[in-house]
Amino acid sequence: MIELIPAIDIIDGKCVRLSQGDYNTKKVYGENPADMAKRFEDVGIKRLHVVDLDGAKASHIVNYKALESIASATNLTIDFGGGLKTDDDLRIAFESGASMITGGSIAVKNPDVFEGWLKRYGSDKIILGADVKERKIAVSGWIENTEVDLFDFLKDYIYKGVSKVICTDIAKDGMLKGPSMELYKDILAKHPTLHLIASGGVSSMADIKALDRAGVPAVIFGKAIYEGKIKVKELC
C-alpha cells in the first residue's frame, strides 16, 4: 500500500499552501502547524512532510520553532526541507525534531555539500528533492529554472547512494488537477527500486489509488486536504 504523507508548508509560523510555488498565491489554512499535525496523527498517519517556505526563499533554515512544536506535540516521522544549505542548518533541523531532511537546490548548486551529508547521515536520512518544470530541475523555492535534465540528475545521485527521492511537478503543484502519472511511470521504469515519493497535483483519493496501482511507493499531498477534496477521515 502506498505511504500517505500529508504536507505542512510554513510561512511566518503558519500553515499555508501556494499554487505552482508562487508566493503571491499564499493561502493560510491554520495558525498552528502542531495542531494540524496532531489531526493527521489522530487518524493514523505516521509520516509528515514539512517545508520551510521562508527558509527556501532566505536560503537558510527559518521556521525551526514550528518544526520543534510539531515534533514535541506528535510522534510523527518528519521529513523537513526548505533552504537547508549548511551543516549548521542540518544540525538545527535534526535537533528540532526532523527525522529526515530533503535537499533540492543544494544538490544542484553545491553537490559536494549534499554528497557530504549523504555520506555522513546515510540515505535513510537524506532525501533528494527533484522539483521539475518540463522535466528540468528548478531550484531556490522554484523561482529559478535550470537546464539540468531530471533523468540525468536522478541517475547521477542514485549512483552516489541516494535511495529516496521526492519528485514534484511544479506545473501540477497546488492546482488540484491530478499528479504527473506519466512522469512517475517513466522514473520507475528507469529506476524500479527507487523509493519515489510523488508530490504535486493530488486532488482526490482516486489520484492516490492511481499512483498506488502504478507502483509509486509514497505520495505527498496538501491542498486536497486543506480544501476538503480529501477528508481527514479518508486517510484512516
The residues assigned a catalytic role are 9, 131
Say how far apart CA 211 and CA 184 lie, in whole Å: 8
Are 51 and 166 contacting, i.e. CB atoms less than 8 angstroms apart? Answer: no
Q: Which residues lie below 8 Å from residue 64, measured CB to CB, with a gap of 6+?
A: 52, 92, 93, 96
Say how far apart CA 7 and CA 225 lie, in whole Å: 9
Helix, strand, coil shares, percent, the chain, to 5:
35, 30, 30
Are 53 and 14 contacting, i.e. CB atoms less than 8 angstroms apart? Answer: no
Say how far apart CA 117 and CA 106 lie, in whole Å: 11
Of 22, 40, 23, nearest in space to 222 by CA: 40
Are 226 and 7 contacting, i.e. CB atoms less than 8 angstroms apart? Answer: no
Any idea how long the chain is?
236
Say how far apart CA 129 and CA 137 lie, in whole Å: 10
- The grid cell for 13 is 509560523
Say how far apart CA 80 and CA 73 lie, in whole Å: 16
CA 158, 113, 46, 53 torsion-angle sign? negative
